[in-house]
Structures are given as C-alpha cells and as structure tokens.
C-alpha cells in the first residue's frame, strides 16, 4: 500500500514538473484550456514583426505606384470624365502662363452622343480639338508612354485621304502623313496610337501637329510614366 502511494506521488510530481518545466515558462489559458509556452510566444512575436515588415514594404510599394504620373486629357471637352475602366480624364484647356499644361491655339467642338463602339471611353471621341499647333506639358523628367486618341467624326470627311496631318513629340516625328479615317478603318471609329519610351529631360513634353490636307484633330491624350 505504501509503495503505491509513493509511485502515485512520483507520477504527480513528474506531471507537475513537465507542466512547470525548468527551462520553459508555461501559461495556462483558463478560457480555452490550452498551454502556451515562452517559445510559442517568441515565435508569435517574430511572426508579428515579419508581418509588420511586410505591411511596410507593401505601403512603400503603394507610395511608389501612386507617385507615378497618369495624365489623361479629354480634348475638346469642358467637363472632366471617368471612363468605364475607372480612368479619370481632365477637361481640355488652353496653355496660359499660369498653367502646367494646355493646348497651343485651335478650336474645340462637342458632337454629342455618337454611339462610338469598341472602346471603354466613348465620350473621348465625341469631343475634339482641331486646327491646333500642339500641346505642352510641364512634367518631371523620365520616360513616358504617350497614347494619342483619334476618330474621324466630321461629316465633311467621307473617305480616305481627306484629312492628313503629321505629329511630333519633342520635335521628333512619330506620325507622318497620318489619316485617322484610313487608320481606324472608317467613319466614327476610334484609333489609338501608342508611343513608348518617350524621354523627357528638360521638364517639358511637347506634342506638335502639322497640317497636310484639312486641319489636324485629336480627341484624347494620355501621358503615363513608366
């Protein structure tokens, strides 16, 4: 009988020793009935630090992404516009001394609801600036993608070759003898010309237009930093 009591006492002591431990401090969660060791706590702290570092990295990446320039101009429009893809387009304006960008001369027109198809931004092609010398933009130095939007919507143009003009960016020819009707494949059809790796080294991006046959026209401009 005495031997059994001693053995039982040893077992209780062993269990108590395992729970308390010499090198590990344990905490019993009374609500959940679980045991959390100091090692578990240290792992949890390390994990929390790594998560915080990851959050900081993501936040920094977002700041870099948000700092990129995305300038979209709805040429000829008097009101800003948000297209179906969620892109915000600014209303057109003339270049004045107090402005960072604008058109150099030209006239504007709004042709109303034309039902332009095959685009996420149909309203871009309902307005236009025509007979302009160009546009100027004061932007940070760097490389940009420039997208120029055109559509022949003047009912006086009914065939290829009736409106032809040339376009330059920073005095470099990018579209020579450009015919919107021909390039788009017909009347009231959008065509976008994308120019990659446009380098800005003096804080200015200039788009120039030269008439060949009829007045040059443009419906939209996008300037996107790389």
Distance of CA 219 to the CA centre of its chain: 20
Separation CA 88–CA 84 (nearest Å) = 10
Query: Tell me: the pLDDT tens digits for 25-82?
Result: 444 444 444 445 565 555 555 455 454 554 454 444 333 444 789 999 999 999 999 9
- Please name every residue paired with 36 in a beta bridge, in sequence order, or none if there are none: 27
Nearest alpha carbon to residue 99 among 67, 135, 63: 135
- When the pLDDT of each residue in the chain is averaged and rounded to a whole number, the result is 81
User: Per the confidence metrics, is the pTM higher than 0.75?
Assistant: no
Domain boundaries, the chain: 23-67, 70-225
Burial 108-128 (b: 16+ CB within 10 A, else e): beebeeeebeebebbbbbbbb
Cα angle 205, 208, 209; round to 5: 155
Q: What is the pLDDT of residues 66-125, one digit of tens each?
A: 478 999 999 999 999 999 999 999 999 999 989 999 999 999 999 999 999 999 999 999
Two tokens, residue 10: 């040893």
CATH of range 70-225; options 3.40.50.360, 2.60.120.430, 3.10.20.600, 3.90.1150.10: 2.60.120.430
């Amino acid at each position: 009988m005495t031997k059994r009591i001693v053995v039982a006492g040893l077992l209780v002591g062993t269990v108590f020793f395992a729970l308390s431990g010499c090198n590990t401090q344990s905490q019993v969660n009374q609500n959940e009935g679980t045991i959390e060791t100091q090692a578990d706590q240290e792992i949890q702290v390390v994990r929390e630090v790594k998560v915080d570092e990851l959050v900081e990295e993501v936040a920094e990446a977002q700041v870099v992404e948000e700092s990129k320039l995305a300038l979209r101009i709805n040429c000829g429009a008097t009101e800003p516009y948000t297209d179906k893809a969620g892109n915000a387009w600014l209303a057109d304006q003339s270049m004045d001394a107090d402005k960072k960008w604008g058109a150099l001369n030209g006239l504007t027109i709004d042709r109303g609801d034309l039902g332009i198809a095959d685009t996420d931004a149909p309203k871009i092609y309902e307005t236009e600036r025509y007979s302009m010398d160009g546009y100027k933009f004061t932007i940070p130095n760097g490389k940009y993608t420039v997208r120029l939007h055109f559509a022949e919507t003047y009912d006086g143009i009914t065939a290829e070759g009736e409106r032809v003009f040339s376009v330059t960016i920073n005095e470099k020819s990018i579209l020579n003898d450009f015919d919107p009707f021909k390039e788009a494949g017909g009347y009231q059809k959008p065509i976008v010309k994308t120019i990659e790796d446009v380098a800005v080294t003096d804080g200015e991006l200039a788009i120039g237009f030269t008439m060949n046959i009829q007045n040059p026209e443009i419906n939209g401009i996008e300037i996107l930093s790389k």
